[in-house]
Amino acid sequence: MRRLVLANALAVGPFVLASGAWAGDPEKGRELANKHCIRCHVVGDDPFAGIDSTPSFRFLTKLSDYIERLQTFYRRAPHPVFVEVPGVPRRTEIPAFVAKITVTPETIEDIIAFVKTLEGK
């Protein structure tokens, strides 16, 4: 049910879900973050990952609304240029300046489950 709500919310735009237990798989989320997000973000222990203008995922967990930021990251600059969500219209036609990433509600749930493991670290 929650997955359906998330899928619907993705189709209409920014949304806020009640916090609670996430169905995401933190190990899958770690793999996804290390495959995609690490190109720009420090996602775990390696300080040489990422670029200076991005918040590290540990830093994100210090923000009270970080889960909402992750839920909506594909709509937040600079991601709309290179992140695609199947079924969700693109917000811009600007050509992607880096390799594209495709995310689904499941991908996002997995990444959130992984980032939650970084809380307090």
Buried b (16+ CB within 10 A) or exposed e, 68-86: eebbbbbbeeebbbbbebe
- Binding mask of the shown chain, residues 59 to 78, with x at each position contacting ligand HEC by CB under 6 A: -x--------xx--x--xxx
Query: In which residue are the tokens 């203008």 written?
Result: 53
39 lies in the binding site for ligand HEC (CB under 6 A)? yes
Q: Tell the smallest beta-carbon distance from residue 45 to ligand HEC (Å).
A: 17
**Residues composing the chain:** 121
CA-atom Rg of the chain in angstroms: 14
List the interface residues with ligand HEC, window 92-111 (CB under 6 A): 98, 101, 111
Among 10, 37, 67, 118, binds ligand HEC (CB under 6 A): 37
Q: How far apart are CA 56 and CA 49, in angstroms?
A: 9
Residues that bind ligand HEC (CB under 6 A): 36-37, 39-41, 53-55, 60, 69-70, 73, 76-79, 98, 101, 111
